[in-house]
A and B are shown apart, each in its own frame.
Chain A
Amino acid sequence: MKPLTVNFRDKAASTLKDKQIQQSLEHVYTGFFQGRLAAAGDTPDWNELRTKGKAIKDHTIAHLDYYLEQLTDNVEKNGGSVFFAEDAAEARKHIIDLAHKRNIKTVIKSKSMVSEEMGLAEAMNDEGFETIETDLGEYIIQLADETPYHLIAPAVHKSRKDVAKLLDDDFKEGDPVPDATELTMMARKKLRSVFERADMSVTGVNFAVAESGSIALVTNEGNGRMTTTVPRVHVAVMGMEKIVPSIQDLSTMLRILIRSATGQRISTYVTMINEARKSDEEEGPEEFHLVIMNNGRQKLLANPQMRESLNCLRCGACLNACPVYRKIGGHAYGWVYPGPIGSIISPVLTGLKDASNLPNASSLCGACHDACPVKINIPRMLLELRWRTAEGSTGKNERTSSYNERRIWGLWRLGMMGRRRFDFGARIASIVLRPLAKNGWLKKAPPPVSGWTSTRDFPLVASRSLKSRLHKRDRKAKP
């Protein structure tokens, strides 16, 4: 998928004005966010589980090369094949070549953010394969020719009417809008016939188990099971970080992932695939292929400050907790991963220069860190990336701050390095601004705070500092 991170401000501004999307985004809080809180509250050892989940991921990522080797050996031992893709283009090419070789006509996809990185569905359709998303949200997005709005709720921004226009062939403007059940049943009918004729599937991977060469898939809809059962060729795609060492680690990881994603104790289906159809099974794919993709993740791995971001389980809890995501929506982030996690990984994977707004689009409130099932310290990494954009700390070519901005902070430092300067600067500001103020507040302030007064009044600097007031108080107190 082509990054559009550079359009952040425009896309955010238009979403802020879109009343329907603003209303749809409410569900992110009332549904997902509060669901997670309730589920966490119902789990007595919740915090310990998160700590354990973090420890499992920290350990795995610290030995990622070892576990990748182990996983690959075991997938091959189970009769599957493993392809290593350095980037999205390699992955796409491999899967398309495979489809040609196997004479594939119809490809069904279950939800996979990694396949979004590859732009796989579009590429396969262009290549002449009927390629259909089967997660309802993804299906809606595919029909609308858009990209997912949320990690686990791709169509969260769509109203029922939007969906009706896409799903209901008979729907006309002015018709009563079908309810969610009717729309879902329309989708069921359409997708059933696709399932029955599909000959290849592409799924994601929630966890790959190194010791057994298994993959685990978490779905509520059952498309994860359909896609791994019906077609004769199953291709699973994963980012190289999605590994856990042991089968037994799944209980911890599933608990924290699912509760954090939807607030459920467990999703309707958890499917663990150890190999293609065994000879005594009635159905199941003939072939299992695993595609493991790097696509820039090594940059996260190589940077100790950013490595923790590879622990991400893609649950979406940070999006749901984020007051900024809940206003600007998923498309503003301009690439596959929206919200706080997107703000730390998209800049590294797609280029910080174009994405420099992403780490800055945060109030640093910390709600994402609180919500993360593996305790990823997202604010810390936002600050790290801000440092890179402001001062070019890891390369001057990444610096996007303006000369003026740098000059202002230089002046700020001068002012803060001595009390007299501090007081002097404040008094000048107070004197200059006083004529513009009413009751101690400014309706319009000059740069650099003019942005503030576009929507809010700004407080006037006091005529006397606290230091001066406390000195006066001391004098009064003395007889």
Chain B
Amino acid sequence: MTDNTTNPPRPDRVTLFASCMVDQIAPHIGERTVDVLEYLGIAVDFLDGQTCCGQPAFNSGFRSEAYPVAARFIELFEQVEGPIVVPSGSCAGMVRNHYAELFREDPTMVERASIVGERLFELTEFISRFFGNAAITGRLESSATYHKCCHLLREIGVNEAPVEMLSNIDGLNMTPLERADVCCGFGGAFSVKMPDISSAVLDEKLDNIEATGSSTVIAADTGCIFQMQGGLRRRGSAVQVVHIAEILAESLINTSETSSLN
């Protein structure tokens, strides 16, 4: 691990916001997120009442439906103190950037949203900020490439940190992805409402992925993971798309196995 002097004081307790999709469709990503945080010495709380931040409806233009769901999110997470970690740049961006829009007629709500937003971190952002990009140095034999999810990159501003983190994993052979910062075409309801356009954007991404020859694509947002994996499966490709939490956690299992063997 990096020494303390380079990073702000490390939290020892956080609250996990899973995001609706991780919670109900990809709970293993949530579990691996907990694994990674616990490895870093952090106690992870989970608020049982959590559901969704409201982004799907907000992005589809149904703000009156998104409003109460977002308000509920604020009320719930106001009940606890300390950092909130979410394994999704998109949900983090919703709370930190778009709540101000959603609540703009109500300054009190904007203020409350901003206070919660300041406590909310995307997973890799959190690790990078408080523990550094070299905090996790596990081992995993694999060949992989990294896709830069749009909202994590452009709304949260996390660009190279995950790439650096992955470079610290022994045995993980990373190949840079051509046009890594170009969208995969997911875009929430867009992917369902305009599937032909969404898929045309996806196809370019998948061609670039296949060109790397990697067996694994690493990303940090569930929607993008589903989009890319769903497309690869339809192509008959064996390439696996995984969340960065899965890679980090798996690399740690291997480290502990190795050490127990020694």
Contact = CB atoms under 8 A, between A and B. Distances in A.
B183 A16 contact: no
Given A367-B182, A390-B62, A456-B202, A426 B190 contact: no
Interface in A447-473: 448-449, 451-452, 454-462, 464-467, 469-470, 473
Given A383-B101, A387-B63, A323 B57 contact: no
A361 B190 CA distance: 7
A434 B135 CA distance: 39
Interface stretch (A205-213, A229-237, A283-291, A410-418): A410-418
B200 A363 contact: no
Contacts, number: 203
A473 B56 CA distance: 29
Interface string A376-409: 0000100101111111010000000100001001
Interface string B180-219: 0111011110111111111111101000000000000000
Contact of B183 (A13, A323, A328, A388): A323
Interface in A46-99: none
Interface in A344-371: 357, 360-367, 369-370
Interface residues of A, number: 65
A469 to B, nearest CB: 5
A363 B26 contact: no
A459 B54 contact: no
Interface of B: 18, 20, 22-27, 30-31, 34, 46, 48-52, 54, 56-66, 68-69, 72, 98, 101, 150-151, 153-155, 179, 181-183, 185-188, 190-202, 204, 226-227, 229-231, 233-234
B84 to A, nearest CB: 15
Contacts of A470: 30-31, 34, 46
Given A360-B190, A416-B20, A422-B51, A323 B185 contact: yes
A327 interface: yes
B24 A422 contact: yes
11 contacts: A363-B188, A366-B155, A391-B61, A391-B62, A422-B20, A422-B23, A456-B231, A457-B230, A459-B230, A466-B18, A469-B30
A328 B51 contact: no
Given A327-B197, A391-B62, A363 B190 contact: yes
B73 to A, nearest CB: 9
A466 B86 CA distance: 13
A12 interface: yes
Given A365-B183, A456-B230, 15 more contacts: A323-B201, A324-B201, A360-B193, A367-B154, A367-B183, A388-B61, A391-B63, A409-B62, A409-B65, A417-B69, A418-B51, A452-B191, A454-B196, A456-B202, A466-B46
A363 B198 contact: yes
A363 B183 contact: yes
**5 tightest A-B CB contacts, nearest first:** A363-B187, A390-B61, A386-B61, A456-B230, A365-B183
